């Protein structure tokens, strides 16, 4: 079983559309994350949730809205997609003083 | 955020040891040193972490300088599957819940020569 799984793996859409990326973890960890890797390969944290509560929000535009229905899921909804949103988005899960586990990413392309 | 400095790229021959350096001169006393790697088309993968003492696990060894301003990740016998970008990160815990904020730098792209 994959520890952290994301869907879809690839997402191609047009500017102005709304899309969601789903993430599920089967590790039983309390904390989940979204990271963004841009075209220059920089990985940057976007959000962190602990037990469905938002803990970290790194000045991400309001068009990005994470939703955590339970502690095993952290979905990312993006409204009014822009060209600059094109990137690879990684979901992660972890707990205190333990390694983070990442999914294999969702490559979002906005045309 | 505490910063780390790594060489942009390194090459190594297959089946030879690899030493990947990292400088972190602004490290604080409670910062842990973490190493992750990212294989092509995959998410970052944990490799090893330490605080003061050298650490060994099945993947690698971590040698930490006495003043903790630098560290070295050691792959004892590199294989082609070790070709990846290796990130040295100082762990920043931002809440009582232990939420980790891993600040990734540019990393070192390791190429393994067959």
Ramachandran bin of B107, using left for φ above 0, alpha for ψ from -120 to 50, beta for the remaining angles: left
Amino acid B96: pLDDT: 57
Amino acid B94: pLDDT: 59
pLDDT digit string, tens, across residues B54-93: 999 999 999 999 999 999 999 999 999 999 999 999 887 6
If you measure CA to CA, which chain B residue comes closest to A105?
Answer: B43
Per the CB < 8 Å rule, is A45 touching B103? yes
Share of chain A above pLDDT 70, in %: 99
Asked if omega into B88 is within 30° of 0 (cis), the reply is no
pLDDT digit string, tens, across residues B24-34: 999 988 888 99
Smallest Cα distance from B66 to chain A, Å: 22
Q: Which of residues 35-54 of B touch A (CB under 8 A)?
A: 36, 38, 41-46, 49
CA–CA distance, A80 with B11 (Å, rounded to integer): 43
Amino acid B6: pLDDT: 96
Alpha carbon of residue B29 to chain centroid: 18
Amino acid B1: pLDDT: 54
Amino acid B95: pLDDT: 56
CA–CA distance, B52 with B31 (Å, rounded to integer): 10
Beta bridge partners of A11: A108
CB pairs A-B closer than 8 Å: 65
Nearest to A103 among B43, B87, B93 (CB): B43
| Overall average pLDDT of the B26-49 stretch | 92
Whether chain B has a CB inside 8 Å of the CB on A27: the answer is no
Whether chain B has a CB inside 8 Å of the CB on A105: the answer is yes
Nearest to B46 among A48, A100, A105 (CB): A100
pLDDT digit string, tens, across residues A29-39: 989 999 999 98
pLDDT digit string, tens, across residues A65-97: 999 999 899 999 999 999 999 999 999 999 877
B99: confidence class by pLDDT, cuts 50, 70, 90: low
Per the CB < 8 Å rule, is A102 touching B45? yes
CA–CA distance, A99 with A95 (Å, rounded to integer): 8
């Amino acid at each position: 079983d994959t520890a952290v799984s994301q869907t879809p793996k690839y997402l191609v859409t047009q500017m102005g559309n709304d899309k969601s990326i789903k993430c599920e973890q089967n590790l039983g960890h309390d904390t989940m994350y979204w990271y963004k890797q841009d075209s220059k390969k920089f990985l940057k944290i976007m959000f962190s949730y602990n037990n469905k509560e938002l803990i970290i929000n790194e000045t991400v535009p309001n068009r990005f809205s994470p939703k955590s229905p339970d502690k095993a899921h952290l979905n990312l909804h993006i409204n009014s997609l822009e060209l600059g949103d094109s990137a690879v988005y990684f979901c992660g899960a972890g707990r205190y003083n333990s390694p983070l586990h990442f999914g294999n990413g969702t490559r979002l392309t906005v045309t | 955020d505490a910063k780390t400095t790594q060489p942009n790229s390194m090459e190594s021959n297959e089946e030879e040891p690899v030493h990947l350096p990292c400088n972190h001169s602004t490290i604080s006393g409670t910062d842990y040193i973490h190493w992750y790697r990212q294989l092509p088309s995959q998410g970052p993968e944990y490799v090893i972490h330490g605080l003061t003492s050298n650490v060994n696990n099945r993947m690698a060894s971590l040698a930490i300088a006495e003043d903790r301003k630098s560290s070295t990740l050691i792959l004892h016998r590199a294989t082609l599957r070790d070709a990846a970008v290796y990130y040295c990160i100082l762990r920043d815990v931002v809440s009582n819940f232990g939420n980790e904020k891993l600040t990734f730098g540019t990393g070192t792209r390791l190429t393994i020569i067959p």
